[in-house]
A and B are shown apart, each in its own frame.
Chain A
Amino acid sequence: MSGILVLTEQSSGAWHPMSFEALAAGIQLGRDLSLPVTACVFGRGVSGLASELAGRNVQAVVALEHEALGQYTADAAVAAIEWLVRDLQPDYVLLPHTYQVRDFAPRLATRFGRVLLSDTTGYTIESGAAVFQRQLFQGKLTADFAFQAPAPNFVSIQAGAFRADALESDAASVSEKAPVLNVSSLRQHPEAPFREAARAVDLSAAERIVAVGRGIQEEGNIPLVQELADAFGAELAASRPICDNGWLPMERQVGSSGQTVAPKLYLSVGISGAIQHLVGMKGSRCVVAINKDPEAPIFEIADYGIVGDLFDVVPALTEAVKKARS
């Protein structure tokens, strides 16, 4: 075939929501390049999920079934999808840029002597071909990339880059395929996923969040931001480095490895805005950023920005908020 293959992601029968963003990207690219779209779900016992995909505006659906795909391993995923790509011969393979895709997709592309364009945020069409955008330097710059190699080419799609398409259509045909796998060659032995501790703080329920990042410099300065949060009646949250250092508990971390939040007010202090943080908070209604670097990517998604030294701005703001709310 020529066309676009979109690989979705599920675990234990539950969709990864980014699957539908990758699917939306695939459908849009298919329209722009006049290519048919095939959606694939892989795993064990995925025929039910495959029939859900059939109503989602694609031309065909593949349920890629194998005993060895029941619990994810990189070796099994690479082998099964390699088999499918050789079978279907698509022009493009699109994947959601999830942690699981980061684990197997570079290896998959290498099997074909290709480079995965990872974590893309969009594409434009130049002279009839797709040019993909990626962020460089933690979001400070954007770059345009083009494929120079023949099909298949591999692209992963950043969280939030495409809106999951709710458009329903007539059911596409579903085919079940069983990849040929050499089960004895699979080397990773996974155990059951676990959580470190029950979460005492549910940041997703907070109406206002004040979040602190690297700019706070040391643990002894955290109370400065806590006072601001108290003045707003907000929950205190943090970017990853703060929690890695143990300055705030892990359960207060916002971002891809922490909680996803969408409060009415998200006020960030000393957070530059790496994508891993932004994916956890960009659904917030009103975003305020305080940062000393005017080029910090957080300002790209902020409604209000203050460029300045947080050690001057935060105490002044705490006073002003206290006055306004008293």
Chain B
Amino acid sequence: MKILVALKQVPARDSLLRIDASGRWLDESDLSFEINEPDAYALEAALQLKEQHGGEVVVLSAGPERAVSAIREALAKGADRAIHVEQENLGEFDTLSLAKLLAAAASSEKADLILTGLQSDDLGSGQTGVIMAELLGLPHATIIMAVEASGQGVRVKRELEAGWFQHVSMPLPAVLTIQSGINKLRYATLMGIKKAKTKEVRKLTAAELGVQPESSVSLLRIYQPKRVKQTQMLAGAPAEQAAQLVEKLKFEARVI
């Protein structure tokens, strides 16, 4: 079974985010980056399917040069090879044209299954996998908790809302978007890290793939969210903060 995993490198969780001079993106100068968390779970699901059924796991990532560290990490965890769509101006690609890039790179691979995280921690559109499915003419399912592959098809457990689930079957090839937390992420071993250095990373560009940037939606500006509530911030040493809070909860909010 050949499985393609689309993953994205995003700013690390808990990063201090500073808006850049353009007002349209972040100042990336002292940001650290990591594999988008839901994509890491998609990679783990792919590695487990390979362990069960044999085959190959191919990582696909679009990103600037720095994305190679996310790709190496995925290879160190056990992916067999990678495709890096290396492009510095991805900010000029809207969700659709970005998915066109990934779909163009994926199409020649003819994978049985394409997995990706259900959304990215940065832009959070939650659409890339589904759009790829449409562009490639494949069936899809989203917010997947478990994958059983058998012969010509796949049966997945979809998460619905409020604690409900549903099984859905569909023929292969198919695209699935994976929910965070569905498996236990493995760490790269020393051996894996060593091996990763020799694994193939094929570089492609948008021009080579014949995909142009499009912007049927455009990001005008980014800014700090406007506060909905006037939050009273309680300062001081922990004991003082605790005492103030109890006072407020008792006499102001009257909830204790």
Flag if B216 contacts A147 (CB, 8 Å).
Answer: yes
Q: A303-B229, A303-B253 are in contact. Are A141 and B123 (CB under 8 A)?
A: no
Flag if A103 contacts B232 (CB, 8 Å).
Answer: no
Flag if B167 contacts A137 (CB, 8 Å).
Answer: no
Other than the given A106-B95, A119-B124, 17 more pairs (CB < 8 A) read A74-B140, A106-B127, A106-B131, A107-B134, A110-B96, A110-B134, A115-B94, A136-B123, A146-B218, A188-B139, A194-B165, A194-B166, A199-B163, A259-B163, A300-B229, A313-B238, A316-B239
Flag if A115 contacts B250 (CB, 8 Å).
Answer: no
In whole angstroms, what is the CA distance A114 to B167 when docked?
30
Q: A141-B17, A304-B248 are in contact. Are A193 and B164 (CB under 8 A)?
A: yes
Contact with B along A133-173 (1 / 0, CB 8 A): 01111111111111111000000000000000000000000
A307 touches B (CB below 8 Å): yes
A308 touches B (CB below 8 Å): yes
Flag if A107 contacts B140 (CB, 8 Å).
Answer: yes
A189 touches B (CB below 8 Å): yes
Residues B128-169 near A (CB distance < 8 A):
130-131, 133-135, 139-143, 158-169
Residues B65-121 near A (CB distance < 8 A):
94-96, 99, 118, 121
Partner among B161, B169, B234 whose Cβ is within 8 Å of the Cβ of A304: B234
Partner among A117, A138, A140 whose Cβ is within 8 Å of the Cβ of B217: A117
List residues of chain A with CB under 8 Å of any chain B CB: 73-75, 98-100, 102-104, 106-107, 109-111, 113-119, 131, 134-149, 187-196, 199, 208, 232, 240-241, 244-245, 250-251, 256-260, 264-265, 285-289, 293, 295, 297, 299-309, 312-313, 315-317, 319-321, 323-325
Q: Which A residues are in CB contact (< 8 Å) with B171?
A: 187
Min CB–CB distance B25 → chain A (angstroms): 10
List residues of chain B with CB under 8 Å of any chain A CB: 11, 14, 16-17, 19, 94-96, 99, 118, 121-127, 130-131, 133-135, 139-143, 158-171, 180-182, 215-229, 231-234, 238-239, 241-243, 245-246, 248-250, 253, 255-256
Interface centre among A106, A303, A324 (most CB of B within 10 A): A106
Flag if A300 contacts B225 (CB, 8 Å).
Answer: yes
Q: A317-B242, A320-B245 are in contact. Are A325 and B141 (CB under 8 A)?
A: no
Flag if A102 contacts B222 (CB, 8 Å).
Answer: no
Min CB–CB distance A95 → chain B (angstroms): 13
In whole angstroms, what is the CA distance A241 to B180 when docked?
8
Q: Which B residues are in CB contact (< 8 Å) with A299?
A: 231, 233
Flag if A305 contacts B168 (CB, 8 Å).
Answer: no
Min CB–CB distance A175 → chain B (angstroms): 28
Partner among B96, B142, B218 whose Cβ is within 8 Å of the Cβ of A145: B218
Q: Which B residues are in CB contact (< 8 Å) with A196?
A: 163, 165
Q: Which B residues are in CB contact (< 8 Å) with A119?
A: 124-126
Min CB–CB distance B236 → chain A (angstroms): 9
Q: A113-B216, A303-B253 are in contact. Are A103 and B164 (CB under 8 A)?
A: no
Flag if A305 contacts B249 (CB, 8 Å).
Answer: no
Min CB–CB distance B116 → chain A (angstroms): 12
Min CB–CB distance B2 → chain A (angstroms): 19
Q: A137-B121, A148-B218, A191-B166 are in contact. Are A301 and B126 (CB under 8 A)?
A: no
Q: Which A residues are in CB contact (< 8 Å) with B170?
A: 187-189
In whole angstroms, what is the CA distance A324 to B171 when docked?
62
Flag if B219 contacts A250 (CB, 8 Å).
Answer: no
Flag if B220 contacts A99 (CB, 8 Å).
Answer: no
Min CB–CB distance A147 → chain B (angstroms): 6
Partner among B133, B159, B232, B250 whose Cβ is within 8 Å of the Cβ of A303: B232
Partner among A136, A187, A251, A287 whose Cβ is within 8 Å of the Cβ of B124: A136
Min CB–CB distance B211 → chain A (angstroms): 14
Partner among B159, B163, B216, B221 whose Cβ is within 8 Å of the Cβ of A148: B216
Flag if A312 contacts B238 (CB, 8 Å).
Answer: yes
Identify the closest chain B residue to A155 (Cβ).
B217
Q: Which B residues are in CB contact (< 8 Å) with A142?
A: 222-226
Flag if B255 contacts A141 (CB, 8 Å).
Answer: no
Partner among B163, B222, B250 whose Cβ is within 8 Å of the Cβ of A195: B163
